[in-house]
Structure 1
Amino acid sequence: MSFYTSLSGLQAAQTELSTVSHNLANVSTDGFKKSRTNFADVIASSIATDPTKLVGSGVVVKANQQQFTEGNLKTTGGALDLTVTGDGFFTVKTAGLNPTTAYTRNGGFKVDPATHNIVDAQGSALLGYPVDAKGNATATGAAGLSALNLAETSGTPVATGKVALGVNLYAAASVPSATFSPTNAASYNSTTTSTIYDSSGKASTLTNYYVKTADNAWTVHSFAGDKELTVGGSTAGTPVTFGSDGKLTAPTAAIAYDAFMPGTGGVSQTLTVNLAGSTQASTAFAVNTRSVDGSSVGMLSGVSVDTQGIVSANYSNGDTVALGKVALANFADPTGLRQMGNSYWSASGVSGQATLGAANENGFGSMLSGTLEGSNVDITEELVNLIAAQRNFQANAKALDTASQISQTIIQIQG
């Protein structure tokens, strides 16, 4: 019987050695949680057995219990490197032919260039809840979960139709002797540039050239890109005059240019330029006022995640859009979660089903952006455990060897 007692001790020690080795192997694995091997003694008895004469029959592994203490935090600066400080797991949908819901503490995420979903290193999509303009979740529970997606663009394009441009023209400027040409700087006195948009939101440049023709008299030529805009089919330019007080006397209304096809594409558009507010003075040329309508489509330029888990995208047109709230999961008994590898866990009958929520809600921790949670393995502690497990293995091996020698001695006596 002592053979099996010692054998159970060897097997138990081997299991502990394997557990410690697994912990040490994952000392640098983000989101990894160490395990501890728990043992229980084996006693074979009946109601007729004298309890003072019981002899144990060895040991069994009761559980390899996961330890969900928080790992060390590492600052990375990445907006999508996330950490849950406190209770909770990120919820992801695994990639592949048979996607499943998994849970992880490894918050190293990035944007998938093909789908624009927020994914982890394995391509699993981070799940969350849609939000309204104020960042309030508009869905709850497992049915409300969806992949957090960063839209590539934001806003609706609007073609520019009106430009208001008040300038100050230098009264003492000389009249150019050369015939006007946008390629000859000697043929005009001053110029302004403004950004305008076509119907698809693509930007181009509106350039106005100001040519002095006489005292208090000027001509303005307008170009959209490299195409000169016309009035009534004429490219002669629009006369601009001032009174002796330097105030604008003509044109009295906005200049209405003929429809034109933008060089950037889109459809034909019309444009008006209002010079109201323009002056002529003895001071240098300057732009007094400028306003341009129309808008472009904003391109994704950045992303941020706040402590509530709200994911916001920044766009080149100045829009900041809340796209969703990161979903967190918690369990009645996290130590009962089933390990799947890749720092993933799945729910089991022991852990219970996931309770879903978000950061800073009851039962869930807060969220940090720009940090990652490392492994909670303490190398020094594990090395001590490794030595202890090795000694246990050696002691049980010695007990087994001793039992073998005793048996051999008995056989020799009987022989």
Structure 2
Amino acid sequence: MAFNTGLSGLRAASVDLDVTGNNIANASTVGFKSSRVQFGDLYASGFLSAGTNPIGDGVRVQDVQQSFGQGNISFTDNGLDLAISGDGFFILSNNGEIRYSRAGQFGIDKDGYVVNNQSMRVQGYTADDDGNLSGIRGDLQIETSNLAPRRTTSLVSELNLDSREEVLEQRVRDIGPVSVADLQGETFSFQYSDGTGDYSVTIDPAASAREAAAAIDDAPGVSASATTTATLSGLTDADLQAAQTAGNLVFELSIDGAVLPLDLSGVNTLEDLADAINNSSETAISASVVDNAGTPELRIIHSRGEDLYYNYSANGSTGTATVQGDVNVTADREVASVASAVATDNDFELAFDASPIRITNEFNPIDQRTYNHATSTTIYDSLGNSHELTQFFVKDPSPGDGVGQSQWSIYLQIDGELVAGTDLQPYTALFDQDGELLSVNGDPNGEIIVTDWIPKDANGDPNGADGPPADPTSVVSPIPEPPTSSAFVINFADTTQYGASFGVNDQQQNGYTTGRLSGLDVSDDGIIFARYTNGQSKALGQVALAAFNNTDGLAPVGDTTWVETFESGQPIIGAPDTGTLGSIKASSVEESNVDLSAELVNLIIAQRNYQANAKTIETSDAVTQTIINLR
């Protein structure tokens, strides 16, 4: 009996030594979980044979139980080294056999699969070409080929336009010329869009064009000038030469009743007569010879609009006339209309209504004085070529009475060429009294769809990328995938107009050029991101973790891996940092959870137990020898 008891103790102590030695041997093994021996005593007892003081039959090893406690996490310089902080196991495929491990020393094999040191493939959730996780488990693979370019189909522009900016664009009406004869004795009033009072103007019945222009020029927002033009038809070079030879040349020119002294001694042609007038003491008068259907004529202009009187006689050709001037008026944007106090068909009122609007400082992308704000961003065509898109913003006068709304014009330029039709007409952005965007060209979503862009190279020639759609009216927002043209959408929905400096809060566009794989990053939830040389990143997949209801039921099979058993139950698989599963720490490994100090103490205890059980056998042998030696 004592022999068997001591022998069982030796066996148990030997197993304890083996387990302790194995723990010590794997103190530096990544992902290793220490084990401990669990003993149970033995009794030789049956259904009816148990006594009140049964004698034990020794000891047996009931189980070698592993401790799945968390090991320390240490950092490494390998981006694919992964450690689990919390519960869970990596899922590995060993040629189809599924194993589970806490050792996260991973790399990439020749085919791009994520594997451990034993070439077991890591399992996870795969991603599609756009980086969207599919939820389908499989072998995680790193795509090492170049990232194909993506054309820009969407640009979100979040800006603040400074409401304190002045209106730069000056719009005026050019009215005239209106004959002073149509203004003499008239009374009319200028009416203004800003609500200020009307300004009444009365023209004297005997006023010259200069006097009429001076009266009109006093009105706010209005500038007026006058000119008088007299054309002498019928007088020829031959008439002048004959009259000069005969000594009976007569030419008299009066300005507002005052005769202009002229030296006619050398006048033989119309050009000579024009020179004589130009050489006179009157600086506001000028003369020239003009062609009228092949016939030269003398034209005399007084730049201040005084009445001109001329009288000439030369070789039988005579002419006498008093010529009144014309009035030209320029009215700025505040002048809304002109109303006659005498008749509704006043010539000046009709001329105002028919006058076109002229922009004095029309938008010019190379002239910073013609726009308030500008910002640029890079967009990409279907070949991955970059292009510079510039957005220009010009503050307009407030619509209506200017209360509660503000308006801006938007121009778009790509590589120096205006697009989206803004070379003909800009887009109009309307803001409310709170500075929030109401619409862009009436669209409450604040979108501009660019459908006329032709991507070009540095020489200004089409570069072979997709161009505008055949039917621009068929383009919708958002642009459907896959895109088939260069059309893209600019969204200004979050653009504001506050009393603060112009600022670009955000500019996000979805295009990029081609790129090569430059690195990998792994997030806490196990998503593997690929970084490319074009600044893009894309999800390649997500590491999957498995947990078990009875972790102690897993069976170790070497290489720091375990397999599922009936006692462990089926795995509960999910994404890291969900449910009870732990999170992933990249560029880290989980060290062995062996407590080396404790193991060395256990080693001493196991050695002592072994020696003590050996002593039991030695003592039993001595007793047996004593019995044998009895005589």
Give the structure 2 partner of residue 125 of structure 1.
121
Give the structure 1 partner of residue 139 of structure 2.
147
Spell out, residue by residue over 1:296-354, the C-alpha distance to the aligned partner (whole angstroms, 9 max, x if none): 53211111010111111011222211111100011111112111111111111111121
Give the structure 2 partner of residue 31 of structure 1.
31
TM-score normalised per structure 1: 0.64
Identity over aligned pairs, percent: 40
Give the structure 1 partner of residue 103 of structure 2.
106
Decide which structure has the larger Cα Rg and report it.
2
- Could you tell me how far 1:132 is from its partner in structure 2? 6.4
Aligned length: 289
- Could you tell me how far 1:158 is from its partner in structure 2? 8.3
3-state SS, counterpart of residue 20 of structure 1: helix
Cα 1:197–1:110 shift into 2, 3 Å: farther
- Aligned equivalents of 1:259 and 1:296: distance in 2? 15
Give the structure 2 partner of residue 93 of structure 1.
93
Cα 1:313–1:254 shift into 2, 3 Å: closer
3-state SS, counterpart of residue 60 of structure 1: strand
Could you list the runs of 5+ residues in structure 1 that have no partner in the other structure? 160-165, 168-195, 204-252, 261-293
Correspondence for 1:116 among 95, 104, 112: 112
3-state SS, counterpart of residue 3 of structure 2: helix
- Aligned equivalents of 1:202 and 1:338: distance in 2? 56
Spell out, residue by residue over 1:359-379, the C-alpha distance to the aligned partner (whole angstroms, 9 max, x if none): 111120111112110100111
Cα 1:309–1:255 shift into 2, 3 Å: closer
Alignment pair present for 1:67 and 2:67: yes
Spell out, residue by residue over 1:194-252, the C-alpha distance to the aligned partner (whole angstroms, 9 max, x if none): xx9997x899xxxxxxxxxxxxxxxxxxxxxxxxxxxxxxxxxxxxxxxxxxxxxxxxx
RMSD: 3.0
2:97 maps to a residue whose letter is T
Cα 1:157–1:58 shift into 2, 3 Å: same
Cα 1:100–1:6 shift into 2, 3 Å: same
- Aligned equivalents of 1:51 and 1:18: distance in 2? 36
Give the structure 1 partner of residue 627 of structure 2.
410
Alignment of 1:247-396 (within 5 A): 255=459, 297-396=514-613
2:80 maps to a residue whose letter is L
2:111 maps to a residue whose letter is T
- Aligned equivalents of 1:259 and 1:383: distance in 2? 74
- Aligned equivalents of 1:368 and 1:38: distance in 2? 34
- Aligned equivalents of 2:539 and 2:10: distance in 1? 57
1:337 maps to a residue whose letter is L
Contact 1:154/1:319 (8 A) holds in 2: no
Contact 1:153/1:298 (8 A) holds in 2: no
Spell out, residue by residue over 1:9-39, the C-alpha distance to the aligned partner (whole angstroms, 9 max, x if none): 1000000000000000000000000000000
- Aligned equivalents of 1:198 and 1:311: distance in 2? 27
- Aligned equivalents of 1:256 and 1:311: distance in 2? 41
- Could you tell me how far 1:5 is from its partner in structure 2? 1.0
Cα 1:59–1:320 shift into 2, 3 Å: same
Contact 1:133/1:322 (8 A) holds in 2: no
Higher mean alpha-carbon deviation, 69-78 vs 367-376, is at 69-78
Contact 2:85/2:583 (8 A) holds in 1: yes
Higher mean alpha-carbon deviation, 6-15 vs 71-80, is at 71-80
TM-score normalised per structure 2: 0.43
Higher mean alpha-carbon deviation, 130-139 vs 338-347, is at 130-139
3-state SS, counterpart of residue 386 of structure 1: helix
Give the structure 1 partner of residue 171 of structure 2.
none
Could you list the runs of 5+ residues in structure 2 that have no partner in the other structure? 152-364, 367-379, 387-456, 465-510
- Aligned equivalents of 1:152 and 1:202: distance in 2? 22
Contact 2:529/2:537 (8 A) holds in 1: yes
1:126 maps to a residue whose letter is V
Cα 1:299–1:35 shift into 2, 3 Å: same
Give the structure 2 partner of residue 186 of structure 1.
none
